[in-house]
Structure 1
Amino acid sequence: MSQLRFKPAYNPYTEPSMEIFSYHEGLGKWVEIGNSGMFRPEMLLPMGFPEDVRVVAWGLSLERPTMILYGYNNIRDLFGHKVDLGLIKENPICRLGLE
């Protein structure tokens, strides 16, 4: 993963925010691999943090490589009420804790 790009982004819970992309040789395109930012104070206050506390948010976009691995084009195939639970049951990489 030697080719990276960083782009300013909008997220409702962080400001400033940034997306991280890596070039995927096999797909021949840039793929989002992460997101980050500084949590907005109004997100932290309800959790009891003092006003002067700053929190960095880092998110790995693990859904992107999963979509590539299983050939999904739509993220809703991984998240939401229409997810095929057979994928989780049939693939050894996905575990529910049931042996």
Structure 2
Amino acid sequence: MRTHTTAVSARMLYQLAQEKVFKPVKYFSIDRVFRNETLDATHLAEFHQVEGVIADYDLTLGDLIGVLYQFFRKLGITKLNFKPAYNPYTEPSMEIFCYHEGLEKWIEVGNSGVFRPEMLLPMGLPEKVNVIAWGLSLERPTMIKYGYNNIRDLVGPKVNLQMVNDNGICRLDKWQQIECFVITS
């Protein structure tokens, strides 16, 4: 069990650094993570983390904010706020909040930042290469997009299976398990 997927991105960046010629990359993953949290309308102990990592020359915090705005815009979510935060792997770092109309409040949907140089240096990436990264909850943006006021309605017996079946980013597989996909253009 793990609380985040940062170890996966670090391994991918190390493999990238081992290549003879650096080429800019974008890595994305969706994986299950676990937290020791009290269940409530916006918290689950088990959820899916959507992680993104982009490595390229001279990336900045502005690039990260632009990517996140674009990502959420494609989901139909346009009300975003960013708050400075501390993360052990990134600096600067920021939490990402989306506005939930039904709850009439801002909900944290993820964390993000620019990888620290001391994290990248041992990997052997070229000097001017920066890495921007984020880890987002899949369930919280889903509840905002579809107007659910309680995140627990997305799991267990209360799941609206017709919504899952009709939705472009989620569907039921032949074993009636939910598969989720991120749509990019």
Shorter-chain TM-score category?
Answer: 0.5 to 0.7
Paired with 1:47 and 1:63, the residues of 2 have a C-alpha distance of: 33
Deviates more, 1:4-13 or 1:22-31: 22-31
Higher relative contact order (CA 8 A, sep 6+): 2
Which is richer in helix?
2
Give the fraction of aligned pairs with identical amino acids, expressed as a percent.
72
Paired with 2:118 and 2:139, the residues of 1 have a C-alpha distance of: 28
Given candidates 105, 114, 120, the residue that maps to 1:44 is 120
Given candidates 135, 152, 177, the residue that maps to 1:91 is 177
Deviation digits for residues 39-98 of structure 1 (CA, Å, limit 9, x no counterpart): 0012112322133322111333324346825269xxxxxxxxxxxxxxxx753336xxxx
Paired with 1:61 and 1:92, the residues of 2 have a C-alpha distance of: 16
Equivalent pairs counted in the alignment come to 80
Structure 2: gaps (5+ residues): 1-76, 144-150, 157-174, 181-185
- CA shift for structure 1 position 34: 3.2
Q: TM-score, normalised by structure 1?
A: 0.59
Given candidates 114, 118, 129, the residue that maps to 1:53 is 129
Paired with 1:71 and 1:3, the residues of 2 have a C-alpha distance of: 25
Q: What's the RMSD between the two structures over aligned residues?
A: 3.0
Paired with 1:46 and 1:90, the residues of 2 have a C-alpha distance of: 44
